[in-house]
């Protein structure tokens, strides 16, 4: 990331207090007795693993989920006393490293269970692990019959500490999806004989699906970072990140001329165009560009919404600022491309993707700072 704001094409502001506030909001939605963890994989969805983990710990979060052991090691270095689960499971030959790092693998198949059991037997110590069931998503996890078989083999499960039983929702963002209830019923049926063990099902969407899905531990991700968990409801989370890109040049483009690569869009009036220093190398998806056939994304400068015009290039975009007063935009001005006035989910819709991809894909060329975000503009 760029160490100097004056040398960067844009700046990324991250509001750690807003992340903590989102965690507290989610925790408050859970049924009594359900603990709230935090999923901070992929550099805490682009907000910075260690700083985000430390702020959440200060807010009261003690349990964290990451995707990979390397991410877990970052959390452990920042929070020696935290509970850290590795969702990606047990990579072959990595048991010693996970145990040494005090990381808890989520065991997703019989081979992983066997390897972890053998390691614990060899060390004569019952290290903790979680077991994941596949209840209908068909990614990682044991099918119910495999899980039952594993649980019946006391020589396996008796050699380590089962810290958690868990599964993952496939369609939680759609509260009406029949698969949600099917997964819930499958999970209950498979784990009911072991209900003395902690259970977890709710990701961000699961928190909003209600208490049936909460069990003992929720592990929200996208909602912590201001993302939209449910497709069919308003987003109640606080925005936590703002991307502002620098205006490099203003130019006047006569009616009938095109902008950028491929001449994708023809201006229909004499236009004032701002060339802005952020592109797909900075996480602004190319698909969010516009053409004569479809609108693209937008930015905000002052209290003015300014549409993207033409293709998104690697290092820059063009914005139509014709309707912005001259005193509100100039060389060196900053345009908000994501933040309180430009929701990641809205911008993602233009790119035919999701806010997860926008947040985790923000480039490393921004000048990064930690501060409170401004309130949304009234337009």
User: CA-CA distance, 249 to 142, in Å (whole number)?
Assistant: 56
Whether 213 is catalytic is: no
User: CA-CA distance, 294 to 273, in Å (whole number)?
Assistant: 18
Instruction: Name, in order, each residue with C-beta under 8 angstroms of 210's C-beta and a sequence gap of 6 or more.
Output: none
**Cα 202–Cα 154–Cα 82 angle in degrees, nearest 5:** 40
Q: Of 6, 27, 31, 41, which is the active-site residue?
A: 41
Q: Is residue 242 classed as helix, strand or coil in its secondary structure?
A: strand
Which of 169, 136, 168, 142 minimizes the C-alpha distance to 157?
Answer: 142
Contact 68/61 with Cβ under 8 angstroms? no
Q: Of 27, 31, 255, 261, which is the active-site residue?
A: 261
Strands, E, within 209-268: which ranges?
A: 217-218, 241-253, 258-259, 265-266
Strands, E, within 201-325: which ranges?
A: 217-218, 241-253, 258-259, 265-266, 271-276, 298-301, 304-307, 317-320
Which of 160, 171, 166 minimizes the C-alpha distance to 128?
Answer: 160
Q: Is residue 152 classed as helix, strand or coil in its secondary structure?
A: helix
Instruction: Name, in order, each residue with C-beta under 8 angstroms of 89's C-beta and a sequence gap of 6 or more.
Output: 105, 106, 107, 108, 109, 112, 132, 140
Whether 45 is catalytic is: no
Contact 38/64 with Cβ under 8 angstroms? yes
Instruction: Name, in order, each residue with C-beta under 8 angstroms of 6's C-beta and a sequence gap of 6 or more.
Output: none
Q: Strands 241-253 and 161-166: what pairing? A: unpaired
**Cα 238–Cα 244–Cα 250 angle in degrees, nearest 5:** 145
Q: Tell me which residues are annotated as active site.
A: 41, 261
């Amino acid at each position: 990331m760029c160490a100097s704001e004056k040398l960067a094409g844009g700046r990324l502001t991250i509001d750690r207090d807003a992340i903590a506030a989102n965690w507290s909001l989610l925790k408050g939605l859970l049924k009594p007795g359900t603990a709230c963890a935090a999923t901070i994989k992929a550099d805490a969805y682009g907000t910075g693993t260690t700083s985000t983990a430390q702020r959440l710990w200060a807010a009261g979060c003690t349990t964290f989920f990451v995707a990979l052991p390397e991410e877990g090691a970052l959390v452990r270095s920042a929070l020696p006393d935290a509970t850290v689960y590795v969702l990606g499971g047990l990579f072959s030959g990595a048991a010693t490293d996970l145990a040494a790092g005090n990381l808890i693998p989520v065991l997703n198949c019989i081979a992983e269970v066997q390897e972890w059991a053998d390691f614990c037997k060899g060390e004569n110590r019952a290290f903790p692990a979680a077991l994941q069931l596949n209840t209908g998503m068909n990614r990682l996890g044991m099918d119910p019959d495999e899980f039952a078989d594993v649980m019946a083999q006391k020589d396996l499960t008796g050699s380590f500490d089962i810290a958690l039983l868990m599964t993952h929702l496939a369609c939680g963002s759609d509260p009406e999806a029949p698969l949600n209830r099917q997964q819930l019923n499958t999970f209950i049926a498979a784990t009911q004989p072991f209900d003395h063990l902690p259970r977890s099902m709710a990701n961000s969407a699961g928190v909003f699906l209600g208490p049936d899905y909460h069990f003992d531990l929720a592990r929200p991700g996208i909602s912590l970072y201001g993302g939209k968990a449910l497709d069919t409801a308003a987003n109640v989370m606080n925005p936590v990140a703002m991307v502002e890109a620098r205006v490099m040049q203003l130019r006047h483009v006569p009616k009938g001329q095109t902008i950028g690569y491929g001449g994708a869009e023809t201006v229909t009036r004499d236009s004032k165009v701002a060339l802005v220093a952020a592109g797909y190398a900075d996480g602004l998806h190319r698909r969010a560009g516009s053409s004569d056939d479809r609108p693209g994304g937008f930015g905000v400068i002052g209290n003015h919404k300014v549409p993207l015009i033409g293709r998104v290039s690697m290092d820059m975009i063009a914005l139509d600022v014709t309707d912005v007063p001259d005193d509100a935009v100039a060389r060196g001005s900053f345009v908000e491309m994501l933040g309180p006035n430009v929701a990641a989910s809205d911008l993602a819709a233009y790119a035919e993707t999701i806010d997860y991809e926008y947040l985790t894909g923000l480039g490393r060329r921004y000048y990064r700072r930690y501060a409170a975000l401004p309130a949304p503009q009234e337009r």
